[in-house]
Amino acid sequence: MIAIEGKIIKGIGGFYYVKTAECVYECKARGVFRKDHRKPLVGDDCLIEVVDADKKIGNVTELLDRKSELIRPAVANVDQALVIFAVASPQPPLNLVDRMLILLESQGLPCALAFNKSDLDAGGAGESFKKIYETAGYKVFVVSAKENKGVDELKDYLKGKTTTVAGPSGVGKSSLINLLAGTQVMETGEISEKIERGKHTTRHSELFSIWGDGTYICDTPGFSSLELYMCGIEREELWKYYPEFVPEEPACRFAGCAHISEPDCGIKTAVSEGRIPRERYDNYCQLYEGLKSRNKLYEKRNK
């Protein structure tokens, strides 16, 4: 059989949906992957053999080299991430924003932030959020999917890349992606209600080709609540995942400074002098204490 190259865009129940230049094939993975302890991932470039051309059925026979692999979410060949929250309705919990960014930082993935629903932002909160996270070194977009505002610059960020999107339900993530794509590629909460499936939540990872030029969006489950201890992040290393902390840390007096109660701390000095936003530092302290408590609980259970 002739091998055809494609990309895995969805995986459900042992079936992999592979997009080729001609169409999408429903495929099973050959047993060789299990023997090699390899599992196909959404985003994988692969070779398939066609079993039934009319029914678009095939087998994945080979996985091509990955340029990147994320553990959580489990996707391959992603170039960057876009973390999406709403400016209002609901108000963005900045602690959760930081947890998402830390998870992505820990996996070495470049990421940006989009704050949607700027049409509801009567008090200018979007610009405040933008200042906080631009100070941290992130690219920030303040947009309105409803009014089609602020999306042109976001399109430039996405163009030609595979981007995984993250964000809780209710922030207009699907509406924003549909607007960017110019067509209905993702199910919105409104559609979900019509088909009686309740509030929309992503059930599996899936790639969407949005402009046909190598630009992909990867929607993934599991970003609604993140526990850093499950991602292998130790409290002593937490500060390293705050990019704005890194240049200030050498000014700390003590090696191994936790940046909580120690005197002569470069990071605390930067907070007091306005180089690090107070909101980010307060979240750091909360997350540090959370990791500390988890470690104590783990040690107690394993005595």
Task: Say which CATH superfamily domain 228-301 falls into.
Answer: Probable gtpase engc; domain 3 (1.10.40.50)
Q: Per DSSP, which regions of the chain are E strands? A: 3-12, 15-19, 24-29, 45-52, 57-63, 69-70, 75-76, 80-86, 111-116, 139-142, 162-166, 206-209, 216-219
Query: CATH topology of 3-65 equal to that of 75-219?
Result: no
Return the higher-pLDDT residue of 74 and 28: 28
Q: Is the pLDDT of residue 280 over 60?
A: yes
Tell me the C-alpha distance between 41 and 259, whole Å: 39
- The per-residue pLDDT for 52 is 94
- The per-residue pLDDT for 9 is 95
* Residue 243: other Cβ atoms inside 10 A: 13
Q: pLDDT class for 193, splitting at 50, 70, 90? A: very low
- For the domain made up of 3-65, the CATH class stated in words is mainly beta
258-287 b/e with 16+ CB inside 10 Å = b?
bbeeeeebbbbebbeeeebbebbbebbeeb
Closest listed residue to residue 186, CA positions, set 166, 210, 163: 210
Q: What's the rounded mean pLDDT across residues 260-265?
A: 96
Averaging pLDDT over each range in 62-71, 175-184, 190-199, 275-284, which range is the top one?
Answer: 275-284
Q: Which two tokens stand for residue 168?
A: 């809780």
- The per-residue pLDDT for 189 is 55
Prediction pTM value: 0.86
- The per-residue pLDDT for 144 is 96
If you search the block for the tokens 């997350």, which residue do you land on? Answer: 287
Q: Is the pLDDT of residue 194 over 50?
A: no
Q: What's the rounded mean pLDDT across residues 136-144?
A: 97
CATH for 75-219 (3.40.50.300, 3.90.1150.10, 1.10.260.40, 3.20.20.70): 3.40.50.300
Instruction: Give 141-155 pLDDT, tens digit per residue.
Output: 999 999 999 999 999
- The per-residue pLDDT for 167 is 86
- The per-residue pLDDT for 199 is 46
Q: In sequence order, which ranges of 136-275 are alpha helices (DSSP H)?
A: 151-158, 173-181, 189-194, 266-272
- The per-residue pLDDT for 221 is 66
